[in-house]
Structure 1
């Protein structure tokens, strides 16, 4: 029989020896006492943070071939062949159902013209192919919570076509060297392992930027929302196909038993509408005109979980969510195709703390103006709050289907130019990223996280006088990294979802989630 005191004694000696070794290393590196706590450069030089949140692009879709970045350029395209719904390799890509370009586009690429593409990524602007410029509006794609997980297929990223609604379209990409933001990225830092915070679409990923959470609909099964509760398979990550679903991706768009907006346990993961105006759901008859009809299946009840905005306010940090065309839509209603305001892109409009009539709404939900004119005025006058989030109006956000890349790219590059000239620039950090991938393929597997994500890889550009110049940052990060930076910089209480994601990433990758600081050089003054 083994003597337990002998084991404990050996463990004590081992721990003591390990401790001495660590102490020796720490002393050699000057990391003991207060030095250990201050080894990391202070984030205090960053006094103004700006987050610009564009729409629906994967990194490979826009930045393939970016120097030093992990893209598929130069790799054998056969490595990225897509599989059919039965797991077999597709002999070719299906046509883009409904045509590659949307209605109203001059000289459209029809469905027939997009047939018989090789089973590999294809360039939309290839002069030897479709030869369409960045100003082209293309077909929209499914970008939904369960489909994103099914497309990722355990990290193989080989079922984007099988579980999409647009045929070959997920495999499309562009020559990004023609973009203005490509040149901005060359001057600063491109983060090439930055992932969308949550699986799926814009609704959930905007919520993720606000609270690192999935909204909840209590008692949804006994509410008007019961028809939009999804039916999933036992894994909880996939949708079972309907009996009448086409068996092959070459035959048509998949059909599911019920692809809803809520999970079976009532979390909102696909687009629900805000309970407050502006909302796609109008007020009920006789109801306060500032509210949306709560009896509509897609009206989400007001949310009460803490947001990063709440945490900033707790510490007296000034902040605002600037929404392009916000006041114009409140005053005049939505207009198509301009500004094409997207109601579900306004996350704080879902939270009770920012309900109509509250002082918090007045202070923090700001009109960005048509084409961002009010946001730009605050930039130019040097009166941005300490933390600003900016959401471009629909026609300037780069979303497939209703917007083009060039318009949004120019708009964001112009914002960057104004920010670089702002009186606040010397102590500013700007993050330009996208809410999610928009259903577009990317070849890099997302790290395993928690139930909600991270999802597919998206572009992120770190712009600052303190940013590393001409740099590509390979640190594993996601949308939550923005919240992590804000939490560390302003010494906030961590949101529960942020802490949970950090633990999940630590367990998956052996490292905590990145916090943007790997793109910065804070040991010397701004350049």
Structure 2
């Protein structure tokens, strides 16, 4: 018998034949198989340089080239200075002009502490592509409604999450899976895809110029004096050929669109609602939830404020919302477009999968304490704790997520746990590292700007900065490899699967 046939015989009859052993798996596979529970925490709207640009050992702001750090006007000339614009598109008197280079938000003369709310730069699909400018990253200020504010960053060393990053692994080559904003990147997190909205009205479709870029309004000002103006405002919700890429609402509650008068309270008014536009039709693309369920692997999407938002959304349309998109004191500031599974037909109201897999953030805390987390957990903090600029501050989310990490570390399931804490997208903030491109990397959806990613757990390398190129789809690739799932078609071939961050 040949060596090859002998090895095959051992594999086929290993349980019955004494002295036969299966081949030793590679170290990466062995480390991966020690992981029994994966927890994904999904925060909001910060680039890597914005929060971790000063992190020791990481590719930070000091490594930016002059071309990357110097922002250009629309005509290709360097801006004279960085001006922050207000809601009217004119210079905001609250913020001083700054030299044309990255600047500290939390230091003079800007001096905004981490417990203060700050402007939120536009973060939209086509804007982000133009800001990246072929990898030069020098049109962030020109293509933002807040102008030069996009170049601000923090000294993150006081953050509690920074200390977790120092103790475990910080990935400094992790890119948001899709260009633009939260809505699309939440869809990317679960399916490496975009939703389809073929029948969207013209009012929701982007208007592009012959070069495939946003159509600027006639007389749109120089970025030296005012914010850019485009025909489609926020960039348009739907591409000309029917892909839903900017913030749009689900057809199921909780949604930014209320129920129809006299209609089912579980559904939304199909005509839509004002600036929200028409809801996205229920989706049928294959998700990571589908592939996990197909293999019988337990999983849950936990969301802060889910139960309260569901009750809020199911009120008659005449009742003012108290939770959904509400910034009033005491509201969790629930964001329906951060709930990707709620866009998919498999999780429609009344469906068994909805009740089983979509649960409230309070359920997460109970499951952590009891040691009953499923094999795969996704956690979306309530809007108040996501660190999203404008409607919350950095400190609240830092404390909230660090407190959760403390609870996870004290959980009975910690011993085989891997936590991936990352951000949905860059929030319109500048970063100097060009996104990967070319075969196996770049496609129509992305990847977009670099974002922070922390890997935490007893099997993770300690005090490590991981320079492996990843994107949001790397989380899907990790889960798929660990549990032997059917791969999702949109996951990029060259994106790493996060296993380099594991201890050998």
TM range (shorter): 0.7 to 0.9
Q: Report the counterpart of residue 106 of structure 2 in structure 1.
A: 125
1:469 aligns with 2:457: no
Deviation per residue, 1:349-376 (Å, 9 max, x gap):
000000000000000000113xxxx322
* Shift in CA distance, 157/76, structure 1 to aligned 2, threshold 3 Å: closer
What is aligned with 2:502?
Answer: 520
1:55-204 correspondence runs (5 A):
55-73=44-62, 80-98=69-87, 111-126=92-107, 128-204=108-184
Counterpart CA distance in 2 for 1:513 and 1:74 is 23
Match of 1:339 among 332, 357, 365: 332
Q: Is the 8 A contact 1:99 1:139 kept in 2?
A: no
State how far apart, in whole Å, the 1-side matches of 2:122 and 2:423 are.
16
Cα deviation 1:134-172 (Å, max 9, x = unaligned): 001001110000000000000000000000000211001
Among 246, 262, 267, which residue is 2:238 paired with? 262
Aligned residues of 1:56 and 1:399 also touching (Cα < 8 A): yes
Match of 2:29 among 38, 41, 49: 41
Residue 132 of structure 1: how far off its partner (Å): 2.0
Q: Name the Cα RMSD after superposition.
A: 1.9
What is the CA-CA distance between 1:294 and the residue it aligns to? 1.4
Q: Does residue 478 of structure 2 align to residue 489 of structure 1?
A: no
Are the counterparts in 2 of residues 191 and 475 from structure 1 also a CA contact under 8 Å?
yes
Matched, 1:253 2:227: yes
Using structure 1 for the length normalisation, give the TM-score: 0.84
SS at match of 2:422: strand
- The 1:491/1:86 distance shift into structure 2, 3 A limit, reads same
Asked if the contact 1:396/1:403 (under 8 Å) is kept, the reply is yes
Q: Distance in 2 between matches of 1:235 and 1:39?
A: 48
* Corresponding position of 1:478: 471
Q: 1:457 maps to which residue?
A: 450
1:432 equivalenced with 2:421 (yes/no): yes
CA–CA distance in structure 2, aligned partners of residues 83 and 310 of structure 1: 45
CA distance in 1, matches of 2:38, 2:208: 40
**Do residues 447 (structure 1) and 427 (structure 2) align?**
no
CA deviation after TM superposition for structure 1 residue 72, in Å: 1.2
1:250-399 residue pairs with structure 2 within 5 A?
250-258=224-232, 259-296=235-272, 297-332=277-312, 333-334=322-323, 335-337=326-328, 338-369=331-362, 374-399=363-388
- What is the SS of the residue equivalent to 2:259? coil
Displacement of 1:63 after TM fit?
0.7
TM-score in terms of structure 2 length:
0.88
Does structure 2 retain, via aligned residues, the 8 Å contact 1:58–1:459?
yes
CA distance in 2, matches of 1:99, 1:178: 34
| Deviation per residue, 1:2-30 (Å, 9 max, x gap) | xxxxxxxxxxxxxxxxxxxxxxxxxxxxx
Q: Give yes or no for the alignment of 1:52 onto 2:41.
A: yes
CA distance in 2: counterparts of 1:447 and 1:476, whole angstroms = 8
Q: Distance in 2 between matches of 1:133 and 1:76?
A: 27
How much does 1:239 deviate? Answer: 0.8
* Counterpart selection for 1:242 from 210, 217, 226: 217
Contact 2:28 2:502 (8 Å CA) reproduced: no
Contact 1:196-1:205 within 8 A present in 2 as well: yes
CA contact (8 A) 2:182 2:338 kept: yes
The corresponding residue for 1:107 is: none
Alpha-carbon distance between aligned partners in 2 of 1:151 and 1:331, rounded to the nearest angstrom: 39
Structure 1, residues 266-310: CA drift from partner, whole Å, max 9, x if none?
100000101100001001122111001111133100001110000
Equivalent pair of 1:192/1:459 in contact (CA under 8 Å): yes
Whole-angstrom distance in 1 between the partners of 2:22 and 2:142: 56
Looking at structure 2, the residues matched to 289 and 85 of structure 1 have their Cα atoms a distance apart, in angstroms, of 47
CA pair 395-245 structure 1, distance change in 2 beyond 3 A = same
Question: Shift in Å at residue 35 of structure 1?
Answer: 5.0
How many residues of Structure 1 are paired with residues of Structure 2 in the alignment?
459
CA distance 1:275–1:98, shift in 2 (3 Å):
closer
SS in 2 for 1:154: helix
CA distance in 1, matches of 2:418, 2:88: 41
Residue 20 (structure 1) aligns with: none
- What is the CA–CA distance in structure 1 between the aligned matches of 2:68 and 2:38, rounded to whole Å? 40
Structure 1 residues 363 and 286, CA gap change in structure 2 (3 angstroms)? same
SS at match of 1:461: strand
Q: Name the CA distance, whole Å, in 2 between partners of 1:34 and 1:85.
A: 62
CA pair 90-364 structure 1, distance change in 2 beyond 3 A:
same
Gaps of 5+ in 1: 1-32, 101-109, 503-511
**Separation (CA, whole Å) in 1 of partners of 2:133 and 2:154:** 24
In the alignment, what sits opposite 1:4? Answer: none
